[in-house]
Amino acid sequence: MTDPDNGTVARPPEELIAFRGVTKVYGRGDACMQALRGIDLDIIEGEFVAIMGPSGSGKSTCMNILGCLDTPTAGSYRFKGVEVGHLTRNQRALLRRHYQGFVFQGYNLLNRTSALENVELPLIYRGFSSAERRERAREALETVSLTGWETHTPGELSGGQQQRVAIARAIVTKPAVLLADEPTGNLDTARSREIMELLTALNRDRGITVIMVTHELDMAAYASRVIRFVDGLVASDKPNGGKSS
């Protein structure tokens, strides 16, 4: 495939994630609960995917497995062609550290730590020097439009600003995929739109794959693809128009 802008050969999108027959069972005997019932799923690099479904549908279990926070009971999960089920606990931690960024509904910031220091935290585990951490954290805060707020603690920031700090922390390691679990769940409508526009821009301009769990149709509308879970199965998987920021 040739890029018409410069005549170079464009690299086709690659498969980032593949589920084949993924099941997840909790408990035993009468207490057994099957959260996932044999999921087949492919996500390509650069997609913006929204995962929806009612409570108990399996969407959160799916997200935990995607983020290597849980493992399938059966089936195959490949990340960039690597069989995650064959990795040790430490290797899965390294996969999370080097390839994945996480954004949660509750922000999960350290309350007595400045915005800059919160964003620096993932880089400590990556072995970056103090100067390198500070430079990259400032760049990440600039990306989420928080230049000038570096020294403020979470208690001095609005909910929308706290979520921007959390997104800066998630992208400071330059991950391949951003996993967002109800990222607008604690925000009002205006702040929710700002966060969704930011995620859309990161996906469009930086090529970060975004996988987001949400129960809000207005937020899912920003995604280019919507997957709906029901009773541990994929009930539908459809392209979506998405919104540009």
Q: Share the mean pLDDT of the chain.
A: 92
Using a pLDDT cut of 70, give the percent of the chain over it: 94
Looking at residues 232-239, what average pLDDT do you find? 95
Closest CA to 69 of 54, 55, 89, 48: 89
* pLDDT category of residue 1 using cuts at 50, 70 and 90: very low
Looking at residues 197-222, what average pLDDT do you find? 96
The pLDDT assigned to 70 comes to 92
* pLDDT category of residue 29 using cuts at 50, 70 and 90: confident
The pLDDT assigned to 235 comes to 96
Q: Rg of the chain's alpha carbons, rounded to an integer?
A: 18
The pLDDT assigned to 3 comes to 53
Give the C-alpha separation, 138 to 135, whole Å: 5
Helix or strand run (H / E) with residue 179: strand 177-181
The pLDDT assigned to 21 comes to 97
Q: What is the pTM of this model?
A: 0.91
The pLDDT assigned to 30 comes to 77
The pairs formed by 234-239 with CB atoms below 8 angstroms and a separation of 24 or more are 234/39, 234/40, 234/41, 235/53, 237/41
Q: Where do runs of H (alpha helix) occur along 14-88?
A: 59-66
Does residue 56 register a pLDDT over 70?
yes
Using a pLDDT cut of 90, give the percent of the chain over it: 87
The residues spanned by each domain of the chain are 15-239
User: For the domain with range 15-239, which CATH number is right: 3.40.50.300, 3.30.70.270, 3.40.190.10, 3.20.20.60?
Assistant: 3.40.50.300
Q: pLDDT by residue (tens digit) across 120-174?
A: 999 998 889 999 999 999 999 999 999 999 999 999 999 999 999 999 999 999 9
* pLDDT category of residue 194 using cuts at 50, 70 and 90: very high
Does residue 222 register a pLDDT over 90?
yes
Does residue 208 register a pLDDT over 80?
yes
Does residue 34 register a pLDDT over 90?
yes
